[in-house]
Structure 1
Amino acid sequence: MDLFASRSLLLLLSLLGRCSAADILPEGPVSAILGKNVTLKTLLTNPTYDYIIWNFSDGTDQTAVVTLRPGSVKVSETYEGRVSADPKNGFLTLTGLRSTDSGDYSMSIISPDITKTAEIRLQVLEPVSDVTIKSDLPEAIEFNSTVVLTCSAKGSFLKFSWLNGTAPIVADGKRLTLKDAELSSTLTITGVLRSDLVGPIYCKAANQLEMETSAAFNLTVYYGPDDVAITPANPPAVIKAGSNFSLSCSARSDPPATFSWYHNQTAMEVEGPVLTLEKIQKLGFGEKAGEYTCRAKNAKTERVVPSAAAKFSVMDPIKGVKMTAPTAVLIAGNSSANLSCQAAAGNVEATTWLKDGRQLTASERVVFAADMSSVKINPLQKEDNGEYVCELSNPVNKAQDSYKMVVNYGPEQAVVTGEGAIEFDDRVTLTCSAASVPPANFTWKFNGTLTNVKTATYSIEKAVYKNSGTYMCQAHNAITGKMTTSTHNLSVKEEGALDGLSDGAIAGIVIGVLIALALAIGLIIYCRQKVP
């Protein structure tokens, strides 16, 4: 068919119009990638036809592509080497697609009975590539910066989407806005937050056939300082001088914050996150209660945020407690005692006096000084013997000293214990006791004559009759000069005398029994005489 005939046929088909031909071509459009192949399929199956003609229109000119007749396929010169058609079903295949292949493809099937023409659109898409994200800022400041991210890509009919990690970024029309163009998309974040770009951020560009994702994008958002706090937040009201105490300051900040310290809102010559007690004392602070704060500064955001205050004072611990006590000999009833307590260093806020582990209380004899620094006991009694402790305290420590008080007394009334009667040849042990400090010295007299026994115990291994008599114990205190005595009578009996009854006692019992028996017999006889 020559060129004139072809054009005439095309004109004829145009004049005939495009009949309703939903049964010969599917609905379009058909999309394909530049440089790839595409097949425009029909809805025909072994059709009967004289001609099947494919034409192309770019909206301006119409060009013949291929003409099929039973047994022959005629490709237009323009498409030679790139187009093939299947006579069985009219499928049209284009290879090595070009951007100029985009347009409307019409197919006409001509038979003796009817002519049908239909059209389908082909979109040749440029491959999606070069998806990249760029920021208008190299770094951002939280709350202050407005960040504009631009995603650009190559390709056709592109649609863009944004992801923060795996979560889609959705515009809210206020802080986050999105604006799409043909080959780019712009994400604008007003008053950027640290969480907006933790991502990383991704941009996806896609068309009907392809999708490409950008490389991960990260943008540093400087923030803080936040949550500026001192540890410990609530230190003791009073800190022990010289102890290993310190305050630490922390804050959430990027870049990390720098710290400075203040005492009652006055800057201290201390930098860094730690303020030691040693430095506080070196600078002359702490003697009075004061407030300590730290201030955190971010060099990028230029924000300075103070912490809450920690309030305390510094106190010296009590050292070198010394109790002053009597050194002379103390005698109950005659002596008195003054005890005083002092510390070589430290602030004493309370004084407690103890005796034998229990608190010493005031009485007529026990009188404390108004400041409790001393106590006077007058007169001393034996009950005052014991260990005395003075305990000095303040809020940071306690310290004490002790004194062992010895009050000499006695001896009190001596007492002798032992047997009052023993049998001949038995052992005798008499014991003398008398309360006394220091312990009493003992001497013994027998029937008024001083013996050689000078211990608390008087012993006789085997008693004889001449050991019967009166024994006197004398208890003497060498310090008080007092002496008390106690007597004890001892009787030495013959052997067996202390084992049972005496002969006289036995005779008395026998006589009593005989009398009782005689009375009983007489009573019986009397009763019988009365009875008829």
Structure 2
Amino acid sequence: MVSLQKVIFFLWLFAKVGVLPDDRLNAAVGGTMIFTTTMSPTEKPFSSVNWSFNVSTPIIIFVINAENIIGPEYEGRITFFPSTASLELRSLTLDDTGEYTVNAVHDGTLLNGRTTLVIHEKVSSVLVNSSSTDLVEFSGSVSLSCSASGPSLSFLWLNGSSEVTASDRVQLTDGGSSLTIITVTRFDQGPFRCRVSNPVSTVISDPVNLSINGPENMDLISSPPQGYFAVGSDISLTCSVGSRPPAHFKWFLNGDQLPDTGSELRLMDVQMSQSGNYSCQAFNTGKKVFSSFLTC
């Protein structure tokens, strides 16, 4: 009687190559992998099929004359598909990483295939930390760092739904896990998210929002639009500014603060004593900006 070892050696020696994918396969711990052969389903049974792991280890399953011999480590973890000689392996562990080989005889033809399976832990514990969340527009920088657990990690940053890419103001370092924005603007408020991937999973962090303070592009407009006015005129001065968060205003005449607040200053029935240089000051929690003076 021919021993099992001799049968396996015979199949290995004379088999043809190519019934399994050449590409490396990836799967997650606890998951399932189906090794699907390229053989077409057949009603005529295979004379013999042998699945092995890392060649020298005990068999996964050996099928001959419709009898199945399953390795003790694989009891309850596999399903064999006799029509294609494919194999399902369940409850994967890191120890299942390695090379898988199938040798089969069908209708007098010797067949074999070989592929590599790599088991990965899933990505977990994705967290973003910021060096600051309260910044001043045009005068501050911020660094965001992304940490995660798992092997073979790749990082991608999102600002809202848009991918963040490197530029003159944006630096991506430490394999993409660190993001630095130089000279922040109001458009850098986020929300920022870190997307971490490996071959078997993807996890996106909770959002981080930045508070970017500071008004800009100030303008002081008079109505009617002229620099000199007759005694008794009514004049409206409006201070406009782009600001996030919204700006507050103070008004000054010749450097002295007026009691008026708000973006508009109304001067009714003006007198000579009200002549001078008017200015407004816009401010918020981050920064103050003065407009140009207006002489009335």
Residue deviations 1:427-477 (CA, integer Å, cap 9, x gap): xxxxxxxxxxxxxxxxxxxxxxxxxxxxxxxxxxxxxxxxxxxxxxxxxxx
The code of the aligned residue for 2:117 comes to L
Aligned to 1:178: 172
Higher relative contact order (CA 8 A, sep 6+): 2
User: SS where residue 292 of structure 1 aligns?
Assistant: strand
The answer as to 2:241 corresponding to 1:251 is yes
**1:188-211 CA distance string (max 9 Å, x none):** 2122221133x4333333344544
- Give the Cα–Cα distance (whole angstroms) in 2 for the partners of residues 251 and 125 of structure 1: 53
What pairs with 1:447-486 in structure 2 (closer than 5 Å)?
Answer: none
Give 1:80 deviation, angstroms.
1.3
User: TM-score with structure 1 length normalisation?
Assistant: 0.47
- Deviation for aligned residue 1:76: 0.8
CA distance in 1, matches of 2:14, 2:270: 98
Distance 2:143 2:224 in 1: 42
Matched with 2:31 is: 36
Question: What residue in structure 2 maps to residue 285 of structure 1?
Answer: 273
Q: Mark the CA change 1:259 to 1:68 in structure 2 (over 3 Å): closer, same or farther.
A: same
CA gap 1:308/1:7 in 2 versus in 1, 3 angstroms: same
Work out the CA distance in 2 between the residues paired with 1:18 and 1:245.
101
Structure 2 CA distance, aligned partners of 1:275 and 1:169? Answer: 42
User: How has the CA–CA distance of structure 1 residues 232 and 19 changed in structure 2, closer, same or farther, with 3 Å as cutoff?
Assistant: farther
Contact 1:18 1:118 (C-alpha < 8 Å) held by counterparts: no
Instruction: Give the letter aligned to residue 21 of structure 1.
Output: V
Partner of 1:118: 113
Radius of gyration: which is bigger? 1
| Amino acid paired to 2:30 | G
Question: What is the letter of the counterpart of residue 294 of structure 2?
Answer: A
The residue aligned with 1:167 is 162
Shift of 1:119: 1.4
Report the alpha carbon displacement of residue 101 of structure 1 after superposing the two structures with TM.
Answer: 1.6
User: Which residues of structure 1 form unaligned runs of 5+?
Assistant: 313-532
Deviation at 1:117, TM superposition (A): 4.1
What's the CA shift for 1:82?
0.9
Q: Is the 8 A contact 1:228 1:305 kept in 2?
A: no
The 8 Å contact of residues 230 and 307 in structure 1, kept in 2 or not, is answered as: no
**1:108: which partner in 2?**
103
- Aligned residues of 1:25 and 1:118 also touching (Cα < 8 A): yes
Q: Is 1:202 the equivalent of 2:193?
A: yes
Contact 1:75–1:84 (CA under 8 A) maintained in structure 2: no
Does structure 1 residue 224 correspond to structure 2 residue 207? no
In structure 2, which of residues 63, 86, 91 is the aligned counterpart of residue 91 of structure 1? 86
Q: Percent identity?
A: 27
Partner of 1:127: 122
Q: Distance in 1 between matches of 2:6 and 2:173?
A: 50
Whether the aligned pair in 2 keeps the contact of 1:231 and 1:248 (CA below 8 Å) is yes
Write the distance in 1 (CA, Å) between the matches of 2:286 and 2:77. 62
User: Counterpart of 2:85 in 1: which secondary structure?
Assistant: coil
Q: Which moves more between the two structures, 135-144 or 159-168?
A: 159-168
Match of 2:293 among 288, 306, 309: 309
Q: Give the counterpart of 1:146 among 141, 144, 152.
A: 141
Q: What is the CA distance between 1:272 and its match in structure 2?
A: 2.6
Return the alpha-carbon distance in structure 2 between the equivalents of residues 119 and 18 of structure 1: 14
The answer for the alignment partner of 2:50 in structure 1 is 53
Compared CA separation, residues 211 and 233, structure 1 to 2 (3 A): farther
Classify 1:298/1:226 alpha carbon distance in 2 versus 1 (closer, same or farther; 3 Å).
farther
With over 3 angstroms needed to count, the CA separation of the structure-2 counterparts of 1:70 and 1:144, relative to structure 1, is: farther
Q: 2:177 corresponds to which letter in structure 1? A: S
Could you tell me which of 263, 271, 296 is aligned with 2:253?
263
Distance 1:131 1:279, change over 3 A: farther
Q: CA deviation at 1:83?
A: 1.7
* 1:208-266 superposed Cα distances (whole Å, 9 cap, x missing partner): 4544433343211112243242443734623434x6545343322234434344434x3
1:155, distance to aligned residue in structure 2 (A): 4.6
Distance of 1:132 and 1:239 partners within structure 2: 64
Question: Quick one: distance in 1 between partners of 2:145 and 2:270?
Answer: 54
Deviations 1:11-64 (A, max 9, x none): x479x6696501x22223223333222211122344775542222239xx7343
What's the offset of the Cα at 1:107?
A: 1.6
Asked if the contact 1:160/1:180 (under 8 Å) is kept, the reply is no
Instruction: String of CA shifts for 1:295-341, please: whole Å, max 9, x gaps.
Output: 3334413xx433233222xxxxxxxxxxxxxxxxxxxxxxxxxxxxx
* Equivalent of residue 21 in structure 1, options 10, 17, 22: 17
User: Per residue, is there more strand in 1 or in 2?
Assistant: 2
Contact 1:228 1:252 in 2 (8 A): no
Contact kept? 2:49, 2:102, Cα under 8 Å: yes
Following the alignment from structure 1 to structure 2, what is the Cα–Cα distance between the partners of residues 162 and 246?
47
- What residue identity is the alignment partner of 2:78? V
Q: Indicate how the Cα distance of structure 1 residues 253 and 18 shifts in structure 2: closer, same or farther if over 3 A, else same.
A: farther
**What is the Cα deviation at residue 169 of structure 1?**
2.0
Query: Structure 1 residue 297 and structure 2 residue 283: aligned?
Result: yes
The Cα offsets for residues 337-388 of structure 1, whole Å up to 9 and x where unpaired, read as xxxxxxxxxxxxxxxxxxxxxxxxxxxxxxxxxxxxxxxxxxxxxxxxxxxx
Equivalent residue letter for 1:164: N
